[in-house]
Chains A and B, each alone.
Chain A
Amino acid sequence: MDHETLGYETLGECLAQQGISRRAFLKFCTAMATLMALPPGSAAAIAEALIKAKRPSVIWLSFQECTGCTESLTRSHTPTLESLIFDMISLDYHHTLQAASGYGAEKSREDAMQKFFGKYLLVVDGSVPVKDGGIYSTIAGRTNLDLLQEAAKGAAAIIAVGSCASFGGIPNAKPNPTGAVPVSELIKDKPIINISGCPPIPAVIAGVLAHYLTFGELPELDDLGRPKSFYGETIHDRCYRRPFYDQGKFAKSFDDEGARNGWCLFELGCKGPTTHNACATTKWNGGTSFPIESGHGCLGCSEPLFWDAGSFYTPLSAPTANIESIAAGSAVVGAGIAVALSVADRAKKRRAQQAHEKLTVKEL
């Protein structure tokens, strides 16, 4: 895809208008190159490509969600970096952020869809309810399902932001009363990239957009449609507490000596070993920390069905279902079978005894 035909003005022009220095921009490009695991020299190439890139039109649809994904992006503590995302794109529709409302807001979405048909990027946060015709979440009187299907038709690619859009997330948790599904379950004919997390790391959203603008295509994805450069390793692989795991030093409660010494949180339910995300390296709040660094185990929020994967405080090695009652029930059934077989055995023995004929002297 030719990325230079995606939108209107170039990113360079836009940055110049806003007075963003070349130094700040190069810093951003270097950060993006590092995050995407590209060679160090590629930062200059990214800068060159981005400066010339036309800003793509982006339509952002928010469905069954909590606005945490938008909050994550907009309240980033490193505004000179992640906020550049809003300079890289032309955000033509985002009902939380835009000033327009009602008819005017919907008109801007329709205009952008018409003007940039086949070229715009569609960003979705939130899952889509499909039960009962999708009536459980509507915008301007139209269901999320309807809006998604319409907007997907003209999209160059779809970016599913957050675990709800990527995997169904919390609305999809049992018993899933609204029949919530992820975007990938409804749209099959467009490239979809999942940026999972509850919320996702803002730099990951920026990184994916930078990659798209630089190379004109989506980055390499894992089997769950997530960019490998950010989701290729587990939290456990990169966790600074990993040496304690290897030494068998575990905190047993959130306020014991182990916890104060910063030991591994595995026994307190940390899902780091099975969670693929960049939290341990990219961190949050401007590189301040990530949940484990703050003393709480990873919840596994960037993995599918994390809400239904047992308690957040159950160790990964422990069962997520009740074993005792099943075992007790099985013991009763087992005992019943044994008694029944024993009764049958005794009856057989009795029959054999009754059928036994004693040898008489006469017979001898």
Chain B
Amino acid sequence: MNQQELLDFVRGPGLQIAAAVFVLGMIYRMLHLILLGRKKNLAAPRGSEWGPGLRTMWHRSLLSVGLTPRGYFILIAGYVFHLGFLITLLFLGQHIDLLRSALGLGWPALPPGLITITAILTIAAMIALLVHRFTDPVKRLISDYQDYLAWALTILPLLSGIMLKQGIALDYQQMLIVHIVTVELLLIAIPYTKLVHIFTTFSARWYNGAISGYKGVEV
């Protein structure tokens, strides 16, 4: 298989396989979770579930105050990398071309220079968080292979994307193949690893708030 054939494969059947595994995994896992249901709570409710649930979703998405310097570092680095990843994914012109082609939806792109800076900040934040994970004894103890796998699968598309954009190493065709493959690996891994949190984070926050609300705890 020559380079052109490889590029055709990753842009065509490779992407179809990745999309199929991703969609199948997400639908099956999310729907299975919903259909599992919740055990009937026999205790009389002391408050509503919806209000506290939604409030918790909102509160836990805000920057908290009163943290230690280390706490702020984790929080800010976490925000930078999550938002940076989303901005890079959703506002680079070439990515919008892809989404328009696959979903029929498109929107204006941000200037590529701004995306490059965002991607560099995202990568820097991810590296800082990895160093922290290695150096902090508690963090290291509670980390398993999935945390490192998720980190690697997330940073690879960013690294290969910035190298493709800036023409660093390999030629455009080779780097485009590497970039698309890293994205496909990420897509395949999302439903079956901790990366599934991109879909469960907010429902989990709602559930935490709803439990408190049911017990009458103010949140």
Residue A364 CB within 8 A of the other chain? no
Whether A317 sits at the interface, judged by CB under 8 Å, is: yes
Residues of A close to B16: CB separation below 8 A: 319, 321-323, 326
Q: Which of A273, A326, A327, A334 contacts B172 (CB 8 A)?
A: A273
Minimum distance in angstroms from B37 CB to a CB of chain A: 9
Taking a contact as CB atoms under 8 Å apart, the answer to whether A327 and B23 are in contact is yes
Contact of A330 among B12, B24, B95 (CB under 8 A): B24
* B2 CB contact (under 8 Å) in A224, A327, A329: A224
Q: Which residues of A contact B32 (CB under 8 A)?
A: 337-338, 341-342
Chain A residues within 8 Å of B28, by CB:
334-335, 337-338, 341
Smallest beta-carbon distance B161→chain A, Å: 10
Cβ–Cβ contact B2 & A304, under 8 A = yes
What residue in chain A is nearest B31 (Cβ atoms)? A338
Please, how many angstroms separate the alpha-carbon atoms of A138 and B93 in the complex? 50
| Of B45-53, B96-104, B145-153, B201-209, the one touching chain A | B96-104
Q: CA A274 – CA B8 in complex, angstroms?
A: 11
CA distance A129 to B4 in the complex (A): 22
CB distance from A310 to the nearest CB of B (A): 7
Minimal beta-carbon separation of A286 from chain B (angstroms): 29
**In the complex, chain B residues 167-196 whose Cβ is within 8 Å of any chain A Cβ:** 171-173, 176
Q: Which of A220-253 contact B (CB under 8 A)?
A: 223-224, 234, 236, 246-248, 250
Q: Tell whether, in the assembled complex, residue B36 and residue A345 are in contact, meaning their CB atoms are under 8 Å apart.
A: yes
Q: Contact between A309 and B7 (Cβ–Cβ < 8 Å)?
A: yes
State which residues 296-344 of A face B: CB under 8 Å.
303-306, 308-310, 314-324, 326-327, 329-331, 333-335, 337-339, 341-342
Q: If the complex has contacts A247-B112, A318-B97, are A334 and B31 also in contact, measured as CB distance less than 8 A?
A: yes
Question: Complex Cα distance A342/B31, Å?
Answer: 9
- Does A267 sit within 8 A of B, measured CB to CB? yes
Evaluate contact between B101 and A314: CB separation under 8 angstroms: yes
A319–B101 touching, CB < 8 Å: yes
How far, in whole Å, are A80 and B17 apart by their CA atoms in the complex?
54
Please state if A274 and B4 are interface contacts (CB–CB under 8 Å).
yes
Query: B23 touching A330 by the CB < 8 A rule?
Result: yes
> Which A residue sits closest to B23, measured CB to CB?
A330
Q: Does B83 contact A (CB under 8 A)?
A: no
B109 within 8 A of A: yes
Closest B-chain residue to A327, C-beta based? Answer: B23
Taking a contact as CB atoms under 8 Å apart, the answer to whether A309 and B101 are in contact is no
- Are A309 and B8 in contact (CB-based, < 8 A)? yes
Which residues of the partner chain A approach B11 to less than 8 Å between Cβ atoms? 310, 316, 318-321
For the complex, would chain B's binding face be called helix, strand, loop or mixed by DSSP majority? helix
Q: Would you call B94 an interface residue if the criterion is a C-beta within 8 Å of the partner chain's C-beta atoms? A: yes
User: Known contacts A224-B2, A309-B7: does B98 contact A319 (CB below 8 Å)?
Assistant: yes
- Chain A residue, CB-CB nearest to B175: A273
A266 nearest in chain B by CB position: B94
| B35 interface residue per 8 A CB criterion | yes
User: Which residues in B have their C-beta under 8 angstroms from that of A305?
Assistant: 4-5, 8
Q: Which of A246, A273, A333, A338 meets B35, CB within 8 Å?
A: A338
Q: Which residues of B contact A322 (CB under 8 A)?
A: 16
Which of A306, A310, A326 is most buried by chain B, counting CB atoms within 10 A of its CB?
A326
| Pair A248/B109 contact, Cβ less than 8 Å | yes
Residue B69 at the A interface, CB < 8 A?
no
Question: A308 vs B71: C-alpha distance in the bound complex, in angstroms?
Answer: 53
| B184 CB to nearest A CB, Å | 11
Question: Which residues of A lie under 8 Å from residue B76 when comparing CB positions?
Answer: none
Specify which chain B residues have a CB less than 8 angstroms from the CB of A337 in the assembled complex.
Answer: 24, 28, 32
- Asked if B8 and A267 make an inter-chain contact with CB atoms under 8 angstroms apart, the answer reads no
**Is B111 at the interface (CB under 8 A from chain A)?**
yes
Is B15 an interface position by the 8 A CB rule? yes
Task: Decide: A310 near B23, CB < 8 A? Known: A273-B176, A323-B102.
Answer: no
Q: Is the CB of B173 within 8 A of A267?
A: no
Q: Is B87 an interface residue when CB atoms closer than 8 A count as contact?
A: no
Some 15 contacts from A to B, beta carbons below 8 A apart, are: A234-B171, A234-B172, A234-B173, A310-B11, A316-B11, A319-B101, A319-B102, A320-B11, A324-B103, A327-B23, A334-B27, A337-B24, A338-B30, A342-B35, A345-B36
| Residues in A lying within 8 Å of B, measured CB to CB | 223-224, 234, 236, 246-248, 250, 266-267, 273-274, 303-306, 308-310, 314-324, 326-327, 329-331, 333-335, 337-339, 341-342, 345
Residues of B within 8 A of A (CB): 2, 4-5, 7-8, 11-13, 15-16, 19-32, 35-36, 93-95, 97-98, 100-103, 109, 111-113, 171-173, 176
Extra contacts, 20 of them, besides A246-B112, A306-B4, A321-B16 (Cβ < 8 A), are A234-B171, A234-B173, A247-B111, A248-B111, A273-B176, A303-B4, A304-B4, A318-B11, A319-B101, A319-B102, A323-B15, A323-B101, A326-B20, A327-B23, A333-B24, A337-B32, A338-B28, A338-B29, A341-B32, A345-B36
Closest 8 A/B residue pairs (Cβ): A334-B27, A338-B31, A342-B35, A317-B94, A318-B101, A321-B12, A334-B28, A248-B112
